[in-house]
Structure 1
Amino acid sequence: MRHADWQERFAAYVGDRMAMPFDWASNDCCTFAAGAVKAITGADLMADVPAYDSALAAGRLIEDGGGLQALVTSMLGQPMSPLMAAVGDVVLLTNEGRDLLGICNGVNAIAPGPVGLVALEMNAASVAWKI
C-alpha cells in the first residue's frame, strides 16, 4: 500500500538519484526500482536479497531467480500489461538488447544510466507490476 504522501516521497527519491551514476549494488536497475518501491510504500524488497557488487554476481542472482521477470514477480506478484502502468509502478524494459527494471514516470520509464537517471520510452516495456 502506498504512503499517503507517496508522490512527494517518490519525487524526493528521484531528485536524490537524478545525477547518481550507475553502480552495481547501490544504483543499478534493481536497487533503483527497489528504492523507489521503498520510498512509495515503505517495503524493503532488497532486505532478503543476497549482496552483490558486480555484473557477474547480479547475473547469477537473476539466473538463480529464474530470470529478471520471474524474480520480480516473486516479490511483487503477477505482472500486468505495461499499458496499465501508472507513475511509480515497476516496469521491465529492454534497452540495447538487455532487460532492465525501471519505474514508470508517466509517459516514460526512468532507470539509472552511466551519469544519472535516463528516460526510456514505455513502448520498450514488456510487463509492469502495480505498486
Structure 2
Amino acid sequence: MSMVFDDEIMQREEQSFWGLLGLRLISADVDRVELGLTASESHLNSMGIVHGGVLSSMMDQAMGTLVATVKGKFGVTTHLNTNFLSPMRIGELVVSAYPLHETHRTMTLRAEVRDAEGTLGCIATGTFRLPR
C-alpha cells in the first residue's frame, strides 16, 4: 500500500511547515523521494550560508514523505542524526531520501542534500515510528 500525494494532501502541505520552507515535490516512489527548494536570503544564517535547521528540516521532510509513500500513512520522527559536510548557498537544492530498514513499527531512512552543481551538503539518518 502506498500513499498518493494528491492535490488535497499537497494543499495541506503548502499550508504547513513544508510551505513555509518553500519545499516542492519532485518525485516520490517506494525507493526514493526527491524534494526541491530554491534557497533564498530567508533560508540563510548570519554567516551567509543555508541554515542547518533548514537543511535538517528538508531531510526530515523527505524521509517522512518516503515513509508515507511506502507505508500509506504518516510516521513520526523519533531519531534524526545529521552530518553537515559542505556549506550550501542561495540557489537550487535537492534532497533525496532512501529506505534503509523497516520493522512492523518503525522505518529507518537515509537522506542527503545536494546543490545544483551536485555538491553534497549534508546527510542524515532518521527513524520514524509508525502509528498503529
Report the TM-score, using the length of structure 2 for normalisation: 0.33
* TM-score in terms of structure 1 length: 0.33
**Larger relative helix fraction:** 1
- Of Structure 1 and Structure 2, which has the larger fraction of its residues in strand? 2
The structure that has the greater radius of gyration is: 2
